[in-house]
Structure 1
């Protein structure tokens, strides 16, 4: 049997690429290093696992239930694509215009609540909204719709999400080594390239939403 009967390879590649650009694993390196600067090696490894698991759980939750949430709130897919495109475009502009990393604050000193703080830092802001942010959630929900709720479609989206989070975990797991290899300039360049690609993806997303809205309106006889 052909692989296309089990997984939509095109959708898998598109979803993975979109998530990679949005979630920007290289760009998480300075954030992760700043938030875990006072952690031991073992604590950094645990934080990487918790952050990755949190992001994965949030994204899968919205991938499965996002459609029903939209139906309950009476939000059309066209509206989601347009608003998602605008949101991603704003993020892209921020990536392109930023000159340096703006930290989320230094980690608190390890004391009586040091363990609790380390868990919280791994969940928020690392797990969400840094990784599982609105952009990634919207992108996955749209990919699910593009898969037309078929087995190959679901397999493609799930595989893309798993692969993406494997990359994220490896990036944070070896963040110190990657930071030394890329350097501040290398991370900045990758961030700018990610911003440019994200702007193009956002524009295409808005165009798709607009075209679908026009086509749907014509079918309904509105225009």
Structure 2
């Protein structure tokens, strides 16, 4: 039971910090400034739904991808750890990933921004995808698989709610509050990165010694 709780907490915290809805908030507001409340709600819903489907697809097909490309789980953990660490470093310095879209092009992409760049790569980035594949490989029972899928759904739903409430949240906590939250989440991401890196490195070193 304790093992399931620990796994569930790892799933929730890792996905929340990697998806980073608080970091996506200002970008979402910027890109939907000229949209009505209904259009903004639709954009947030579509972006969240697309992200959820993509993460689930990668989580379920991770095993097939490993076999097809001849990739070991341990190698993926090492690479994932490096990616997470770099992301965590950016978050620790409160640097948002800039989305380069010209002002005169924003309206032309109103129907597409929910998919790119909001769903991919802002919500469903390489960190979240890697995390889904690695955690699915670690899910050794049906209970853990269910916990993982529920955790993904819960974090994506939370992201959707945060995006809908973005204008109110930013008014309450301000940009300074967002930066503080990003730094805290960045620290968590870096800790997860170290765990992933060494959990993948140990078996490889062990095999080399043998």
Q: TM-score range by the shorter chain?
A: over 0.9
Whether 1:155 and 2:151 are equivalent positions in the alignment is: no
Instruction: Work out which of the residue numbers 169, 179, 184 in structure 1 matches 2:170.
Output: 179
Residue in 2 that maps onto 1:127 = 119
Distance 1:103 1:128, change over 3 A: closer
Residue in 2 that maps onto 1:70 = 66
Contact 1:21–1:197 (CA<8 Å) still a contact in 2? Answer: yes
Contact 2:23–2:96 (CA<8 Å) still a contact in 1? Answer: no
Contact 2:92–2:182 (CA<8 Å) still a contact in 1? Answer: yes
Instruction: Work out which of the residue numbers 174, 179, 195 in structure 2 matches 1:188.
Output: 179
Residue in 1 that maps onto 2:205 = 214
Q: Structure 2 matches for 1:5-16, cutoff 5 A?
A: 8-16=4-12
TM-score (normalizing by structure 1): 0.87
Contact 2:47–2:119 (CA<8 Å) still a contact in 1? Answer: yes
1:65 and 1:29 mapped to 2: Cα distance?
A: 29
Give the secondary structure class of the aligned counterpart of 1:120: coil
Distance 1:175 1:107, change over 3 A: farther
**Structure 2 unaligned spans of 5+:** none
Instruction: Work out which of the residue numbers 71, 80, 84 in structure 1 matches 2:80.
Output: 84
Report how far residue 102 of structure 1 moved: 3.4
The number of residue pairs the alignment matches comes to 209
Report how far residue 46 of structure 1 moved: 0.4
Distance 1:44 1:11, change over 3 A: same
TM-score (normalizing by structure 2): 0.92
Whether 1:18 and 2:27 are equivalent positions in the alignment is: no
Report how far residue 96 of structure 1 moved: 2.1
Residue in 2 that maps onto 1:117 = 109
Over the aligned positions, Cα root-mean-square deviation in angstroms equals 2.0
Deviation per residue, 1:175-216 (Å, 9 max, x gap): 11111111010001111111111111111110111112223x
